[in-house]
Amino acid sequence: MKRIWWKSGVAFLAGLWVLSQSVFPVFAEEAGPGAGLAEASGATIHHTSQDVAAGQSGENLSETDVPEGMAEVKLTVTIAEITGQVGVPIQTAPGSADSYGYAYPRTVYRVANQMENGWIEIVYDGHAAYLDGNTGEITVKSTWTVPENDIEFAELIKTSMEVLGSRYVSGGTDPATGVDCSGFVKYVMAEAADLEMPRTSAQQAAMGTARAPEEMRVGDLVAYGSSLASVSHVGIYIGDGRIIHGDGTGRGVTVSVWNDRTDIPRIANVLG
């Protein structure tokens, strides 16, 4: 009787271990952003939708109906948006236990390749990284939705998405080699709006006219810092509650929810 109980107990514990490996995958704690990643092909160069693997574009892209009062911007790249409610690990290789953190809901990534096994290669801080497209938490598409009255800023959306995932480099102003937050703003405004911007985030935040949060439009600058005199970060509002910005925490050019940070001394209308 004791031997039967002992064998049953071992089998039960083994079952729990197997279950824990499938439900709670282990990620390397010491893996830093960009460490050990292979360079993505053309990671800091503009990708077009043709960069998506043959047979993986077109009908396989998940497009949504456009709500009334909104308009679609047709992008020149393919993006992966976390549209579910659960974060998805950003992994060093498909199926790897090593992670660079999580892709949280409402974040967006530029797609370099959709793989046949459902995995998605993205451009992440100038490197290749991978999302599991089999999770059901990701929508892959080549459009971005904005209010109809902001469709005039479509070129700004397209230009900024073309360099999504480029490497963060302090002092950088060229996505081909790396940008910081103000360098990214300077690049996009020059390319998409023919607008010459000053170099620092504080100088950029002081431009134009102030805008209330409920009046924000695509192309507005969102400044972050304890006060207008202490601005330390800036991003470009792209609609739907998101900004695109050069992130210095290891993500590179990335899309975030605009008010994840609450230290916002000014929203600036610089496009008129």
Per the annotation, the verdict on 127 as an active-site residue is no
Per the annotation, the verdict on 245 as an active-site residue is yes
SS3 state of residue 134:
helix
Nearest to 169 by CA among 213, 125, 111: 125
CA 234 → CA 92, 141, 246, distances in Å?
Answer: 29, 26, 8
Euclidean distance between CA atoms 237 and 172, whole angstroms: 21
Per the annotation, the verdict on 46 as an active-site residue is no
Q: Tell me, what amino acid is at 18?
A: V
CA 190 → CA 72, 156, 215, 232, distances in Å?
Answer: 23, 10, 24, 21
Angle, CA 39 vertex, CA 37 and CA 42 arms, to 5°: 150
**DSSP string for residues in 57-117:** SGGGS---PPPTTEEEEEEEEEEEEE-SSS-EEEESSTT-S-EEEEE-TT-EEEEEEE-TT
* Cβ atoms 107, 254 nearer than 8 A: yes
Nearest to 76 by CA among 124, 144, 151: 144
* Cβ atoms 25, 83 nearer than 8 A: no
Residue 177 has φ and ψ, to the nearest 5°, of: -120, -15
The residues that are catalytic are: 181, 233, 245
